[in-house]
Structure 1
Amino acid sequence: MTFKLTRRSILAGGAAAVLMPAIARAAGWPERPITLVHGFGPGGNSDGIARVAAEGLTKQLAGSVVVDPRPGAGGTTAADQIARASADGYSLIMLTGAHAVAAAIYKQLPYKTVDDFTFISLVAGGTPFTIATYPDHPVNNPAELIEQAKKSDRLFTYASSGIGTTLHLAMELLASKAGIKLQHVPYKQNSQSMVDLLGKRIDFVINGPASVFPQIQSKEIKAIAVTSPTRYADLPDVPAIAEVLPGYDVTSYYGVAAPKDLPADVVAKLHDGIKATVAEPASIDRIRGLGSTAMSATPEEFRARVAADVAKWTDLVKVAKIEQI
């Protein structure tokens, strides 16, 4: 039997040869340790949730997943590292809501926020931020904040963890939707902003529930609003901003992503591993202890969430005339 070589068959064979290494990697993966980076310091919520995901994936994949904190530039240093990495399944990143915020607040990034990543699954999310003040402040809820801000002869001040953070933009979104002005006071340390709040040198702080819950429980401060579309289960008596500003919604999330063009079967293995991890009671409890809610999402849902947030924050930066970095 003879075989006739044509240009088409030669090209087809060449294409198959190019694809074979990727297919082989997917079939035998993982064969060495996987690194899960995140863009914040060790010991924080991102680090804690990343470790829950890493331990779960280590178990589910029968491999080794190591967490590697790479703090800097609001998470963009770590994101740039992953955007440039090989799409072989050995370089992953735990993204937070700050990933979309960076796309709006930075004039230029060395990567494309959506297109340079393969989105795998959420790990946690749905948790609002909490706005709080000192006990005898005249504002007790979001309706009063808006009403009094419009009447006051001075600007209400609020503290956040820095310019261009999700906390900063959450308050600016409130101001934009309510038609009021607020004065932002950025702090490098939450502890100092709490000292100034208790000293009545600022009006409000905005932070994650876990960061202010002890002071709320001890009644050192009072919570006046949460940023989720509905009330937060751990603070059921605190109104949601959406009760007076329908459509307002700012919640945190954490999700695993990889460089773009990750093989589909590696994506599937990772997604299934994360889904199984966040369904385990121990993972649910640990994530809850970090002030968040365990959850998963399809790659398409995760990508859509990031893209929607990029559009929301980009529009806000333009409308509110927030200076880009």
Structure 2
Amino acid sequence: MRWKLLLAVVFLTIILWVGYVVYAAVGASPTVRASWGYVDEKTTEIWVNANLNRPLMVPVSVDNLTISLSGIPVAQVKRFDYRPTGREVNIAVGIENYNLVRAIVEYLKNGQRGTVSVEFKGRFLGFIPLSLRVSEQISEDVLAYLNFRADSKELAGGLIETPALVETTFEWAGEEDGNIVLMAHMKFYNPNRFPIPVGNLSFDVYANDIKIGYGETEKSVVIPADGYGTLDVRTYIVEDALPKVWVIHVKNGEVSRARADVYLDITALGQKYRVKLASYEETVKTDIMGSINRLLEGMTAG
């Protein structure tokens, strides 16, 4: 009969342990904080620290936790410091910058649709394998946020007005020599009483003094008097430049400087003009880490 007593003791121990885990988890009220870790062109680390009121007493370890976008691994847990009897958990998540760029390319290539997957592998009690995979379809029209505009400008003492850029839409156009290629459809309005031939539109885009893109027209168009015309501009985004810009952005406290000069070649009243249609220069600020911490705070509140 001793084996029955032994089973009863084991069963009672498990019940008490589960009860304690539930009690500890509910009353743990963890303080969780994330911060930027080591950052270079290849890797971005996010450090997460959690302080618990009491130990969880859950003997679990993490062998691998990977996040993928469009089938490309973009982030994984590099370090997981946790002891069942401890009150602090430290996690380092490593983002592969170039893989993230490749994943974004695949996302655009697939019509701005993709899959985010999280795969977890670990062990319970040191030998019981744990495995979990969760996937979610995403579809966000990120190119819709790129909508450039510019007002008309007077030339020749007010006799001529440059066409106004009223709308810009982008679509995926492929890859060339390590560049993302987007086709920009730029809709112009001609306020003059005569048609305006537009020969060329060109621009260079810089972020943190690094050239990240440039554009050139496919062919010239004639914008009718008091009418509209669309200029197709082939736009190139330099893929290898994006991680370099990202490093500076993070190290500057999530602040970047972006600038672009847009030039337009037109012919009016028998004269050719090269006009700086627009000059953009602005400070780009993000609050990615703040958003992560607000998310973590919301998850652990109450």
Q: What TM-score results when the alignment is normalised by the length of structure 1?
A: 0.27
Q: What TM-score results when the alignment is normalised by the length of structure 2?
A: 0.29
**Structure with the higher strand share, 1 or 2:** 2
> Could you say which structure has the greater relative contact order, defined with CA pairs below 8 angstroms and 6 or more residues apart?
1
Larger radius of gyration: 2
